[in-house]
Structure 1
């Protein structure tokens, strides 16, 4: 009916054809438009981690360093060397140990800005609290937060293909959701890959350009130019074949490196090098690699990016890497895990990295211990509190004040 109506109006001349006055002067072309890669989690992981050496190494360095930190479990009264939660963390499930589980969790958090840990519950203890028997890290790209009417999550939905499983959030959630800060999202964290997406595209494009240059248009080291001899405009076929044969037999390969070349009349050697634009292109690739390292918080020299790298600078870069990147991430994750697991046990437990066993920060810890020990106006318990230690316990079981 609508088609008939429009056809009738068009036949009667009632439809007005409008066009822009600037239309005839628009230059139609497709070149010059920037093509960016997709920004979803799966695509960013593929292009920024699986297909980029800088992003791959940065994520591995952060996740491996954070997972290798020794952990301590304590409450307001004592530090535990043996506890059911420590045993659970040492062997979280049948296929993973503590390092593997934490490395997977840190990797998911760095790649997507979100980390999810599932607690597989067991039999309740004497206090009625369900103690987890296993812990599993779930892929963040498969998890969806289901918000309630008040905006807080009421469930987590995990999807694998067409199958979905819903984790209901009750008094004790079976899912521990750890996320980074995101200023424009209430339920999901912001991944460093999002901030480094443009630099990753530039770096990957530069690598593809270099590969294409080698495959299709690699610049030769030089050219033999024929200037003409006795009125001839080009080399005869016989002389050309002889010249090619001599080049292959006397001037190619490692054993002929540096051998001087004897050119007959009419032949001239023109060396070729990289143009200024080619050299600037390489600098652009290195700058993009530095931006990727900056987004992840890894000093460029630790990733092998060209620059000043003396031994003293490397030591300082390694210390800054632990102090500014690894420790804040590990403290955030362990605090969230400790608080979540405390809800299962009903105890007020604190899980944190053991800074005294971290070799990279040994000079700073030695200075802190010496400074606190030399303060005569502090009690022993105050000194222990400053060092992150619980109060001393007397033989009667009370804290020694």
Structure 2
């Protein structure tokens, strides 16, 4: 039996006949099932990803903050029936979601959770029917999806300090990335970059340990062809001397004076032998790419992907920031617009004042303005200006 047949089994039905006389009823795909009303625990890697990938890795920290701050800087405006509504209650809610956070901080934290965990949750507080009064973020590692029928969530469950509370589906926004191994949770970008994050962090720790041990690789002191080996007292005295006078950052570079037939043998590789700098730069590039950030934007040297910083910045906005912000606008529209009773209400991005796109806008303006085959009304319409008198 094929995979298609397993997922979409056909059977005789009392009603309904397809072309050719075959009677059947369509069935929905089968999703991973735990049991109706039972919460499915969030994968318990959020704390490790947050600690190793965000708190202790400068490249991931920089990439996440760069994208999150850029998305939060884009104004979100409300359109209703094609008209901009500056005084719309939805616009006011987005500008000030709750007494604790401004709109920019709300979006910044929302994107931060999304990029670290692959899942971001927001809760709409207010009347059961009608527009919410406040929007609050819920930390991803405290949230679980409650499975319903036909692979659709029946609710969400939050557990904090041993206390549980359940939310209805309409009151919670669950924004997640694509995950090929889960029907319920997104995959964190940090998971794809986990190996590179470990390599980058281990390289930094190795460098720190090397500095703290005198700036030299590990080695061993030994005697060769001697009649009288070191006594225990001599060994202890030599060990104390090496630890106090030849290790540590303050003793870096001091020559090691050997006597009594002692010799030094390196036991590790030098930074040059390990090509340490190139290895760290490669890991940094891979981490940046996992977040859709050009390596130049996070300070990785020798990044030749883009000819200059300006092109890298424009690519970041066009390939990562604007698509991510557009996705947020679409998710918030689908979640909040019905609560405000507007079938034609939607959130859109205001991109006219983005500095990174100024050069591209100027070139487009000049190209349209100099198009002699277009009428003035057509030029104004293409540039987004009203053609009405």
TM-score relative to the length of structure 1: 0.69
Alpha-carbon contact 1:39-1:197 (below 8 Å) kept: no
Match of 1:183 in 2: 180
Residue 332 of structure 2 corresponds to residue 337 of structure 1 = yes
Alpha-carbon distance, 1:293 to partner: 0.8
Residue 127 of structure 2 corresponds to residue 130 of structure 1 = no
Flag structure 2 segments of 5+ consecutive residues without an equivalent. Answer: 1-42, 218-240, 251-268
Distance in 2 between the 1:378 and 1:75 partners?
30
Alpha-carbon distance, 1:190 to partner: 1.7
Match of 1:141 in 2: 141
| Residues 23-67 of structure 1 deviation map (CA, whole Å, 9 limit, x = unaligned) | xxxxxxxxxxxxxxx981221111100111111111111111110
Distance in 2 between the 1:308 and 1:188 partners?
34
Distance in 2 between the 1:368 and 1:44 partners?
42
What is the count of residue pairs matched by the alignment?
336
Match of 1:323 in 2: 318
Alpha-carbon contact 1:39-1:194 (below 8 Å) kept: no
Match of 1:352 in 2: 348
- Equivalent residues in 2 for 1:1-400, closer than 5 Å: 40-122=45-127, 129-169=129-169, 173-216=170-213, 218-219=215-216, 275=270, 278-308=273-303, 313-347=308-342, 348-371=344-367
C-alpha root-mean-square deviation of aligned residues, in Å? 4.5
Alpha-carbon distance, 1:91 to partner: 1.2
Distance in 2 between the 1:114 and 1:71 partners?
21
Alpha-carbon contact 1:67-1:99 (below 8 Å) kept: yes
Alpha-carbon contact 2:125-2:133 (below 8 Å) kept: yes
| Residues 92-142 of structure 1 deviation map (CA, whole Å, 9 limit, x = unaligned) | 11111011111110101111111111111148xxxxx51111111111111
Structure 1 residues 43 and 311: alpha-carbon distance in aligned structure 2, compared to 1, 3 A threshold? closer
Alpha-carbon distance, 1:379 to partner: 8.9
| Residues 341-390 of structure 1 deviation map (CA, whole Å, 9 limit, x = unaligned) | 10101112221221111110112223334455667888999877766xx8
Alpha-carbon contact 2:44-2:141 (below 8 Å) kept: no
Distance in 2 between the 1:342 and 1:374 partners?
40
Structure 1 residues 52 and 352: alpha-carbon distance in aligned structure 2, compared to 1, 3 A threshold? same
Flag structure 1 segments of 5+ consecutive residues without an equivalent. Answer: 1-37, 124-128, 221-243, 254-273, 396-401
Distance in 2 between the 1:59 and 1:327 partners?
15
Alpha-carbon contact 2:130-2:341 (below 8 Å) kept: no
Say which SS state the counterpart of residue 165 (structure 2) adopts: strand
TM-score relative to the length of structure 2: 0.71
| Residues 220-257 of structure 1 deviation map (CA, whole Å, 9 limit, x = unaligned) | 9xxxxxxxxxxxxxxxxxxxxxxx9xxx9xxxx9xxxx
Structure 1 residues 313 and 39: alpha-carbon distance in aligned structure 2, compared to 1, 3 A threshold? farther
